[in-house]
Amino acid sequence: MEAIQQILFIVVLGIAGWMVFQRVQLIKSTINLGRPEDLTDQPQRRLSTMMRIAFGQKKMFDKPLIGILHFAVYAGFILINIEVLEIVLDGILGKHRLFASFLGSFYPVLIGFFELLAVAVLLACLVFLFRRNVVKVARLQPVRHREMNGWPALDGKLILIFEIVLMIAILTMNAADSVLQDLGSAHYPKTGNFWFSQFLKPLFEGWNENALIRYERAAWWFHILGIFAFAVYVTYSKHLHIILAFPNTYFSRLIPKGEMKNMPEITNEVKMMLWLENSSGGTSEVPERFGAKDVQDLSWKNLMDAYSCTECGRCTAACPANITGKKLSPRKIMMDTRDRLEDVGRNMKANGGKFVDDGKSLIGDYILEEEILACTTCNACVQECPVLINPLDIILQLRRYKVMDEAHAPGSWNTMFQNLDTNQAPWKFYAGDRFNWTEGLEQKSAG
Protein backbone atom coordinates (compact mmCIF):
# COMPACT_ATOMS: atom_id res chain seq x y z
CA MET A 1 0.00 0.00 0.00
CA GLU A 2 2.83 2.38 0.88
CA ALA A 3 4.51 1.64 -2.45
CA ILE A 4 1.27 2.53 -4.31
CA GLN A 5 1.03 5.82 -2.39
CA GLN A 6 4.66 6.55 -3.17
CA ILE A 7 4.17 5.97 -6.92
CA LEU A 8 0.94 7.98 -6.92
CA PHE A 9 2.65 10.86 -5.13
CA ILE A 10 5.52 10.96 -7.64
CA VAL A 11 3.02 10.96 -10.53
CA VAL A 12 1.01 13.83 -8.99
CA LEU A 13 4.20 15.78 -8.25
CA GLY A 14 5.34 15.32 -11.86
CA ILE A 15 1.99 16.49 -13.27
CA ALA A 16 1.90 19.58 -11.03
CA GLY A 17 5.53 20.40 -11.87
CA TRP A 18 4.86 20.05 -15.61
CA MET A 19 1.77 22.29 -15.43
CA VAL A 20 3.66 24.99 -13.50
CA PHE A 21 6.59 24.77 -15.93
CA GLN A 22 4.31 25.16 -18.96
CA ARG A 23 2.57 28.12 -17.42
CA VAL A 24 5.84 29.82 -16.41
CA GLN A 25 7.17 29.39 -19.95
CA LEU A 26 4.06 31.03 -21.41
CA ILE A 27 4.22 33.96 -18.98
CA LYS A 28 7.91 34.39 -19.76
CA SER A 29 7.16 34.37 -23.50
CA THR A 30 4.46 37.05 -23.21
CA ILE A 31 6.66 39.29 -21.03
CA ASN A 32 9.45 38.93 -23.59
CA LEU A 33 7.10 40.35 -26.25
CA GLY A 34 7.73 43.76 -24.69
CA ARG A 35 10.28 46.21 -25.95
CA PRO A 36 13.77 46.06 -24.40
CA GLU A 37 14.55 48.27 -21.43
CA ASP A 38 17.82 48.24 -19.52
CA LEU A 39 17.17 48.13 -15.77
CA THR A 40 20.39 46.49 -14.59
CA ASP A 41 22.25 49.54 -13.26
CA GLN A 42 23.03 50.09 -9.56
CA PRO A 43 22.63 46.43 -8.51
CA GLN A 44 23.26 47.12 -4.81
CA ARG A 45 20.55 49.76 -4.67
CA ARG A 46 18.19 47.45 -6.54
CA LEU A 47 18.88 44.60 -4.12
CA SER A 48 18.25 46.93 -1.18
CA THR A 49 14.95 48.04 -2.73
CA MET A 50 13.85 44.45 -3.26
CA MET A 51 14.70 43.46 0.31
CA ARG A 52 12.84 46.44 1.79
CA ILE A 53 9.77 46.42 -0.43
CA ALA A 54 9.24 42.78 -1.45
CA PHE A 55 10.83 40.82 1.39
CA GLY A 56 10.35 43.37 4.20
CA GLN A 57 6.85 44.46 3.04
CA LYS A 58 7.80 48.06 3.89
CA LYS A 59 4.95 49.80 2.07
CA MET A 60 2.35 47.49 3.57
CA PHE A 61 3.20 48.89 7.01
CA ASP A 62 1.89 52.33 6.03
CA LYS A 63 -1.22 50.85 7.65
CA PRO A 64 0.30 49.00 10.63
CA LEU A 65 -2.52 46.57 11.47
CA ILE A 66 -3.01 45.49 7.86
CA GLY A 67 0.77 45.35 7.43
CA ILE A 68 1.14 42.96 10.38
CA LEU A 69 -1.68 40.70 9.15
CA HIS A 70 -0.34 40.66 5.61
CA PHE A 71 3.16 39.92 6.86
CA ALA A 72 1.78 37.01 8.90
CA VAL A 73 0.26 35.46 5.76
CA TYR A 74 3.39 36.19 3.74
CA ALA A 75 5.81 34.81 6.35
CA GLY A 76 3.59 31.78 6.82
CA PHE A 77 3.59 31.10 3.09
CA ILE A 78 7.39 31.34 2.89
CA LEU A 79 8.35 29.44 6.04
CA ILE A 80 5.67 26.75 6.09
CA ASN A 81 7.12 25.60 2.76
CA ILE A 82 9.99 24.13 4.79
CA GLU A 83 7.45 21.70 6.24
CA VAL A 84 6.13 21.15 2.72
CA LEU A 85 9.67 20.15 1.73
CA GLU A 86 9.59 17.42 4.37
CA ILE A 87 6.18 16.24 3.14
CA VAL A 88 7.43 16.11 -0.45
CA LEU A 89 10.49 14.10 0.55
CA ASP A 90 8.30 11.80 2.66
CA GLY A 91 6.08 11.22 -0.35
CA ILE A 92 8.96 10.51 -2.73
CA LEU A 93 10.88 8.25 -0.32
CA GLY A 94 7.89 6.58 1.29
CA LYS A 95 8.87 7.84 4.76
CA HIS A 96 7.04 9.68 7.54
CA ARG A 97 8.46 12.76 9.30
CA LEU A 98 11.84 12.31 7.67
CA PHE A 99 13.47 15.22 9.52
CA ALA A 100 12.47 13.97 12.99
CA SER A 101 15.25 11.37 13.22
CA PHE A 102 18.18 13.77 12.83
CA LEU A 103 16.63 16.92 14.34
CA GLY A 104 15.80 15.09 17.55
CA SER A 105 14.33 17.25 20.33
CA PHE A 106 14.45 20.33 18.09
CA TYR A 107 11.92 18.79 15.69
CA PRO A 108 8.77 19.43 17.80
CA VAL A 109 9.99 22.99 18.38
CA LEU A 110 10.31 23.49 14.61
CA ILE A 111 6.88 22.01 13.90
CA GLY A 112 5.48 24.05 16.78
CA PHE A 113 6.84 27.20 15.13
CA PHE A 114 5.19 26.20 11.86
CA GLU A 115 1.94 25.69 13.74
CA LEU A 116 2.28 29.17 15.21
CA LEU A 117 2.57 30.51 11.66
CA ALA A 118 -0.40 28.39 10.58
CA VAL A 119 -2.56 29.86 13.35
CA ALA A 120 -1.40 33.38 12.43
CA VAL A 121 -2.28 32.76 8.76
CA LEU A 122 -5.67 31.35 9.75
CA LEU A 123 -6.53 34.37 11.93
CA ALA A 124 -5.26 36.87 9.35
CA CYS A 125 -7.34 35.26 6.60
CA LEU A 126 -10.43 35.39 8.81
CA VAL A 127 -9.84 39.12 9.40
CA PHE A 128 -9.37 39.72 5.66
CA LEU A 129 -12.61 37.86 4.90
CA PHE A 130 -14.37 39.96 7.54
CA ARG A 131 -13.02 43.15 5.93
CA ARG A 132 -14.18 42.08 2.48
CA ASN A 133 -17.64 40.81 3.38
CA VAL A 134 -18.72 42.61 6.56
CA VAL A 135 -16.74 45.85 6.80
CA LYS A 136 -16.84 46.03 2.97
CA VAL A 137 -13.65 48.02 2.34
CA ALA A 138 -14.60 50.38 -0.51
CA ARG A 139 -11.62 49.70 -2.79
CA LEU A 140 -12.43 45.96 -2.81
CA GLN A 141 -16.14 46.24 -3.62
CA PRO A 142 -17.43 45.32 -7.13
CA VAL A 143 -20.38 47.71 -6.73
CA ARG A 144 -18.03 50.69 -6.68
CA HIS A 145 -15.24 49.40 -8.94
CA ARG A 146 -16.43 47.59 -12.05
CA GLU A 147 -13.08 45.87 -12.64
CA MET A 148 -13.71 43.85 -9.45
CA ASN A 149 -16.93 42.30 -10.77
CA GLY A 150 -17.03 38.54 -11.29
CA TRP A 151 -13.86 36.52 -11.02
CA PRO A 152 -11.54 39.17 -9.46
CA ALA A 153 -13.78 39.50 -6.40
CA LEU A 154 -14.36 35.75 -6.16
CA ASP A 155 -10.63 35.06 -6.59
CA GLY A 156 -9.75 37.08 -3.49
CA LYS A 157 -12.36 35.31 -1.36
CA LEU A 158 -11.57 31.81 -2.63
CA ILE A 159 -7.89 32.03 -1.84
CA LEU A 160 -8.60 33.20 1.71
CA ILE A 161 -11.02 30.32 2.30
CA PHE A 162 -8.58 27.90 0.69
CA GLU A 163 -5.76 29.03 2.98
CA ILE A 164 -7.99 28.68 6.06
CA VAL A 165 -8.90 25.11 5.09
CA LEU A 166 -5.24 24.24 4.41
CA MET A 167 -4.18 25.56 7.82
CA ILE A 168 -6.94 23.54 9.52
CA ALA A 169 -5.72 20.47 7.62
CA ILE A 170 -2.15 21.02 8.92
CA LEU A 171 -3.24 21.40 12.53
CA THR A 172 -5.68 18.47 12.59
CA MET A 173 -3.18 16.27 10.72
CA ASN A 174 -0.59 16.95 13.42
CA ALA A 175 -3.17 16.33 16.17
CA ALA A 176 -4.15 12.94 14.70
CA ASP A 177 -0.45 12.15 14.26
CA SER A 178 0.19 12.89 17.95
CA VAL A 179 -2.68 10.63 19.04
CA LEU A 180 -1.27 7.83 16.87
CA GLN A 181 2.12 8.37 18.49
CA ASP A 182 0.51 7.99 21.91
CA LEU A 183 -1.04 4.72 20.76
CA GLY A 184 2.38 3.49 19.65
CA SER A 185 1.17 3.00 16.09
CA ALA A 186 3.77 1.77 13.62
CA HIS A 187 4.96 4.28 11.00
CA TYR A 188 4.40 7.21 13.43
CA PRO A 189 7.73 7.95 15.21
CA LYS A 190 7.65 9.52 18.66
CA THR A 191 8.18 13.29 18.46
CA GLY A 192 6.16 14.58 21.39
CA ASN A 193 3.29 17.07 21.39
CA PHE A 194 3.29 20.15 19.17
CA TRP A 195 2.47 23.66 20.38
CA PHE A 196 -1.06 24.12 19.04
CA SER A 197 -2.26 20.81 17.65
CA GLN A 198 -2.00 19.24 21.12
CA PHE A 199 -5.11 21.21 22.07
CA LEU A 200 -7.00 19.55 19.21
CA LYS A 201 -6.24 16.01 20.37
CA PRO A 202 -9.52 15.75 22.36
CA LEU A 203 -11.34 15.91 18.99
CA PHE A 204 -9.97 12.46 18.23
CA GLU A 205 -10.78 10.80 21.56
CA GLY A 206 -12.53 7.49 21.07
CA TRP A 207 -11.28 7.03 17.51
CA ASN A 208 -9.77 3.65 16.78
CA GLU A 209 -6.34 3.34 15.22
CA ASN A 210 -7.58 2.63 11.69
CA ALA A 211 -9.89 5.66 11.71
CA LEU A 212 -7.06 7.87 12.97
CA ILE A 213 -4.70 6.61 10.27
CA ARG A 214 -7.32 7.20 7.58
CA TYR A 215 -7.93 10.75 8.80
CA GLU A 216 -4.21 11.55 9.15
CA ARG A 217 -3.50 10.21 5.65
CA ALA A 218 -6.50 12.05 4.18
CA ALA A 219 -5.38 15.32 5.79
CA TRP A 220 -1.81 14.68 4.61
CA TRP A 221 -2.95 14.12 1.02
CA PHE A 222 -5.37 17.04 1.16
CA HIS A 223 -2.64 19.35 2.39
CA ILE A 224 -0.02 18.40 -0.18
CA LEU A 225 -2.51 18.23 -3.07
CA GLY A 226 -3.76 21.64 -1.97
CA ILE A 227 -0.20 22.99 -2.10
CA PHE A 228 0.29 21.54 -5.58
CA ALA A 229 -3.06 22.96 -6.74
CA PHE A 230 -2.15 26.34 -5.27
CA ALA A 231 1.21 26.29 -7.10
CA VAL A 232 -0.64 25.84 -10.40
CA TYR A 233 -3.49 28.20 -9.50
CA VAL A 234 -1.14 31.01 -8.49
CA THR A 235 0.18 31.28 -12.06
CA TYR A 236 -3.34 32.14 -13.26
CA SER A 237 -4.24 34.39 -10.34
CA LYS A 238 -3.43 37.82 -8.98
CA HIS A 239 -1.45 35.91 -6.36
CA LEU A 240 1.35 35.56 -8.89
CA HIS A 241 2.65 38.68 -7.14
CA ILE A 242 3.86 36.37 -4.35
CA ILE A 243 6.66 35.36 -6.74
CA LEU A 244 6.93 38.32 -9.13
CA ALA A 245 7.10 40.96 -6.40
CA PHE A 246 10.78 40.12 -6.00
CA PRO A 247 11.98 40.65 -9.60
CA ASN A 248 9.46 43.44 -10.10
CA THR A 249 10.86 45.50 -7.22
CA TYR A 250 14.44 44.65 -8.15
CA PHE A 251 13.94 45.94 -11.69
CA SER A 252 11.92 48.99 -10.63
CA ARG A 253 12.89 52.33 -12.15
CA LEU A 254 15.26 54.26 -9.92
CA ILE A 255 14.51 57.66 -11.46
CA PRO A 256 12.26 60.12 -9.56
CA LYS A 257 8.58 59.19 -9.87
CA GLY A 258 7.67 62.49 -11.52
CA GLU A 259 10.25 62.14 -14.28
CA MET A 260 8.71 61.21 -17.62
CA LYS A 261 10.78 59.36 -20.20
CA ASN A 262 11.20 61.29 -23.43
CA MET A 263 10.84 59.56 -26.77
CA PRO A 264 14.31 59.49 -28.42
CA GLU A 265 12.81 59.82 -31.89
CA ILE A 266 11.05 63.06 -30.96
CA THR A 267 14.11 64.38 -29.13
CA ASN A 268 16.18 63.83 -32.27
CA GLU A 269 13.60 65.57 -34.45
CA VAL A 270 13.55 68.60 -32.14
CA LYS A 271 17.33 68.80 -32.10
CA MET A 272 17.46 68.62 -35.90
CA MET A 273 14.84 71.37 -36.15
CA LEU A 274 16.95 73.51 -33.81
CA TRP A 275 20.12 72.77 -35.82
CA LEU A 276 21.55 70.79 -32.96
CA GLU A 277 23.46 67.58 -33.39
CA ASN A 278 21.28 64.51 -33.80
CA SER A 279 21.61 62.57 -30.54
CA SER A 280 21.81 59.28 -32.44
CA GLY A 281 24.76 60.52 -34.46
CA GLY A 282 22.99 59.87 -37.77
CA THR A 283 19.73 60.40 -39.59
CA SER A 284 16.58 60.24 -37.51
CA GLU A 285 14.55 57.11 -38.22
CA VAL A 286 10.78 57.28 -38.07
CA PRO A 287 9.58 54.56 -35.65
CA GLU A 288 6.96 52.06 -36.69
CA ARG A 289 4.65 53.49 -34.06
CA PHE A 290 4.66 56.37 -31.60
CA GLY A 291 3.61 55.31 -28.13
CA ALA A 292 1.77 52.04 -27.55
CA LYS A 293 -1.25 50.55 -29.26
CA ASP A 294 -0.90 47.00 -27.96
CA VAL A 295 1.12 45.11 -25.36
CA GLN A 296 3.94 44.46 -27.83
CA ASP A 297 4.59 48.22 -27.92
CA LEU A 298 5.10 48.41 -24.15
CA SER A 299 8.37 47.52 -22.44
CA TRP A 300 8.94 44.12 -20.83
CA LYS A 301 8.88 45.91 -17.45
CA ASN A 302 5.38 47.26 -18.15
CA LEU A 303 4.26 43.70 -18.87
CA MET A 304 5.89 42.34 -15.72
CA ASP A 305 4.10 45.10 -13.81
CA ALA A 306 0.79 43.78 -15.15
CA TYR A 307 1.51 40.23 -14.01
CA SER A 308 2.71 41.53 -10.61
CA CYS A 309 -0.45 43.51 -9.81
CA THR A 310 -1.96 42.50 -6.46
CA GLU A 311 -5.36 44.05 -7.30
CA CYS A 312 -5.30 45.66 -3.84
CA GLY A 313 -6.80 48.89 -5.21
CA ARG A 314 -4.56 51.27 -3.27
CA CYS A 315 -3.69 53.00 -6.55
CA THR A 316 -7.35 53.50 -7.48
CA ALA A 317 -8.28 54.64 -3.96
CA ALA A 318 -5.63 57.40 -4.24
CA CYS A 319 -6.43 58.41 -7.84
CA PRO A 320 -8.01 61.91 -7.92
CA ALA A 321 -9.68 61.19 -11.25
CA ASN A 322 -11.37 58.08 -9.85
CA ILE A 323 -12.30 59.82 -6.61
CA THR A 324 -14.13 62.52 -8.60
CA GLY A 325 -16.15 59.96 -10.56
CA LYS A 326 -14.08 59.56 -13.74
CA LYS A 327 -13.82 56.14 -15.37
CA LEU A 328 -10.09 55.92 -14.84
CA SER A 329 -8.95 53.22 -12.41
CA PRO A 330 -5.19 52.54 -12.36
CA ARG A 331 -5.92 49.05 -11.04
CA LYS A 332 -8.14 48.39 -14.07
CA ILE A 333 -5.36 49.60 -16.39
CA MET A 334 -3.06 46.92 -14.97
CA MET A 335 -5.76 44.23 -14.94
CA ASP A 336 -6.72 45.02 -18.55
CA THR A 337 -3.07 44.84 -19.60
CA ARG A 338 -2.77 41.43 -17.95
CA ASP A 339 -6.03 40.27 -19.57
CA ARG A 340 -4.67 41.28 -22.95
CA LEU A 341 -1.43 39.41 -22.21
CA GLU A 342 -3.45 36.33 -21.29
CA ASP A 343 -5.32 36.51 -24.61
CA VAL A 344 -2.06 37.00 -26.49
CA GLY A 345 -0.58 34.02 -24.63
CA ARG A 346 -3.49 31.78 -25.62
CA ASN A 347 -3.10 33.02 -29.20
CA MET A 348 0.59 32.11 -29.19
CA LYS A 349 -0.08 28.72 -27.64
CA ALA A 350 -2.62 27.92 -30.36
CA ASN A 351 -0.24 29.02 -33.12
CA GLY A 352 2.96 27.24 -32.22
CA GLY A 353 4.46 30.00 -30.09
CA LYS A 354 3.85 32.83 -32.57
CA PHE A 355 1.32 35.61 -32.24
CA VAL A 356 -1.23 35.83 -35.06
CA ASP A 357 -3.04 39.15 -35.40
CA ASP A 358 -6.49 38.81 -33.83
CA GLY A 359 -7.74 42.24 -34.81
CA LYS A 360 -7.67 43.50 -31.23
CA SER A 361 -5.48 45.98 -29.39
CA LEU A 362 -4.95 47.06 -25.80
CA ILE A 363 -6.28 50.56 -26.41
CA GLY A 364 -9.86 50.42 -27.64
CA ASP A 365 -10.70 46.77 -26.97
CA TYR A 366 -9.54 46.60 -23.36
CA ILE A 367 -8.75 50.14 -22.18
CA LEU A 368 -11.05 52.96 -23.23
CA GLU A 369 -9.81 56.31 -24.52
CA GLU A 370 -11.97 58.02 -21.89
CA GLU A 371 -9.95 56.29 -19.16
CA ILE A 372 -6.51 57.40 -20.28
CA LEU A 373 -7.63 60.96 -21.00
CA ALA A 374 -8.86 61.34 -17.41
CA CYS A 375 -5.35 60.84 -15.96
CA THR A 376 -3.78 63.95 -14.43
CA THR A 377 -0.27 62.35 -14.30
CA CYS A 378 -0.09 63.16 -10.58
CA ASN A 379 1.76 59.89 -9.78
CA ALA A 380 -0.50 59.10 -6.81
CA CYS A 381 -0.99 55.55 -8.13
CA VAL A 382 2.77 55.04 -8.50
CA GLN A 383 3.39 56.31 -4.99
CA GLU A 384 0.80 54.01 -3.41
CA CYS A 385 1.67 50.68 -5.05
CA PRO A 386 3.12 48.20 -2.51
CA VAL A 387 5.19 46.42 -5.20
CA LEU A 388 6.36 49.50 -7.18
CA ILE A 389 4.11 49.09 -10.22
CA ASN A 390 3.84 52.08 -12.56
CA PRO A 391 0.37 52.33 -14.19
CA LEU A 392 1.12 55.90 -15.29
CA ASP A 393 3.83 54.78 -17.72
CA ILE A 394 1.34 52.58 -19.58
CA ILE A 395 -1.25 55.39 -19.64
CA LEU A 396 1.28 57.85 -21.06
CA GLN A 397 2.35 55.47 -23.82
CA LEU A 398 -1.26 54.76 -24.79
CA ARG A 399 -1.97 58.51 -24.88
CA ARG A 400 1.10 59.13 -27.02
CA TYR A 401 -0.21 56.65 -29.54
CA LYS A 402 -3.66 58.24 -29.68
CA VAL A 403 -2.27 61.77 -30.02
CA MET A 404 0.88 61.28 -32.11
CA ASP A 405 0.07 58.25 -34.22
CA GLU A 406 -3.67 58.61 -34.74
CA ALA A 407 -3.72 62.43 -34.36
CA HIS A 408 -6.71 61.90 -32.11
CA ALA A 409 -6.79 64.32 -29.19
CA PRO A 410 -9.58 66.33 -27.54
CA GLY A 411 -10.21 69.75 -29.05
CA SER A 412 -9.07 71.51 -25.89
CA TRP A 413 -5.76 69.62 -26.08
CA ASN A 414 -5.23 70.64 -29.70
CA THR A 415 -5.83 74.26 -28.74
CA MET A 416 -3.25 73.94 -25.97
CA PHE A 417 -0.74 72.29 -28.36
CA GLN A 418 -1.25 75.13 -30.85
CA ASN A 419 -0.75 77.75 -28.15
CA LEU A 420 2.44 76.05 -27.01
CA ASP A 421 3.69 76.07 -30.59
CA THR A 422 2.85 79.71 -31.29
CA ASN A 423 2.98 81.37 -27.87
CA GLN A 424 5.28 79.04 -25.89
CA ALA A 425 2.54 78.75 -23.27
CA PRO A 426 -0.81 76.96 -22.95
CA TRP A 427 -2.70 80.27 -23.01
CA LYS A 428 -3.99 82.02 -26.09
CA PHE A 429 -2.13 85.28 -25.85
CA TYR A 430 1.38 86.41 -26.79
CA ALA A 431 4.29 86.33 -24.42
CA GLY A 432 4.41 90.13 -24.36
CA ASP A 433 0.84 90.25 -23.04
CA ARG A 434 1.35 87.58 -20.44
CA PHE A 435 1.61 89.93 -17.48
CA ASN A 436 -1.08 92.43 -18.49
CA TRP A 437 -3.24 91.12 -15.68
CA THR A 438 -0.89 92.82 -13.19
CA GLU A 439 -1.76 96.32 -14.44
CA GLY A 440 -3.33 98.44 -11.72
CA LEU A 441 -2.46 96.03 -8.92
CA GLU A 442 -0.08 98.55 -7.28
CA GLN A 443 -2.75 101.23 -7.12
CA LYS A 444 -5.29 98.81 -5.70
CA SER A 445 -2.81 97.60 -3.12
CA ALA A 446 -1.99 101.17 -2.08
CA GLY A 447 -5.68 102.03 -1.82
> What pLDDT is stored for residue 318 in this prediction?
95
Q: What is the pLDDT of residue 446?
A: 58
> Rounded to an integer, what distance in angstroms lies between the CA atom of residue 18 and that of residue 41?
34
Q: From CA 261, how far away is CA 272, in angstroms rounded?
A: 19
Using the 3D structure, point to which of 194, 229, 249 is the last residue of a domain: 249
426 part of a folded domain: no
Q: What is the pLDDT of residue 347?
A: 95
Q: Are residues 60 and 162 both part of a single domain?
A: yes
* In a shared domain, residues 14 and 156: yes
- Give the pLDDT score at 283: 52
276 belongs to a structural domain: no
Length of the chain: 447
> Are 102 and 220 part of one and the same domain?
yes
HEC per residue, 160-189: HHHHHHHHHHHHHHHHHHHHHHHHCCCCCC
- Mark whether 221 and 292 lie in a shared domain: no
Asked if the structure places residue 418 within a domain, the reply is no
**Residue 170 structural domain:** 2-249
Is residue 442 domain-resident?
A: no
Same domain, 297 and 230: no
Same domain, yes or no: 326 and 218: no
Predicted structure pTM score: 0.86
Q: Clarify whether residues 345 and 227 are in a common domain.
A: no
pLDDT of residue 443: 66
Three-state SS sequence of 98-145: CCHHHHCCHHHHHHHHHHHHHHHHHHHHHHHHHHHHHHCCHHHCCCCC
Asked if the structure places residue 391 within a domain, the reply is: yes
Residue 299: beta bridge partners? Answer: 35
CA gap 403, 423 in Å, rounded: 20
pLDDT (0 to 100) of residue 376: 93
Same domain, 243 and 321: no
Q: Express as a percent the part of the chain with pLDDT over 90.
A: 58
- How many domains does the chain contain in total? 2
- If asked whether residues 95 and 224 sit together in one domain, one would say yes
Q: At residue 380, what is the residue type?
A: A
Low-confidence ranges of the chain (pLDDT < 70): 1, 275-286, 443-447
Quote the pLDDT of residue 161.
93
Residue 120 near residue 72 (C-beta atoms within 8 A): yes
Does 264 fall in a domain? no
Phi, psi of 313 (to 5 degrees): 85, 5
Identify whether 272 is part of a domain.
no
Give the CATH number for residue 328: 1.10.1060
Q: Identify the pLDDT of residue 285.
A: 64
- 238 and 133 within one domain: yes
Distances (CA, A) of 100 to 14, 86, 115, 206, 257: 26, 10, 16, 27, 51
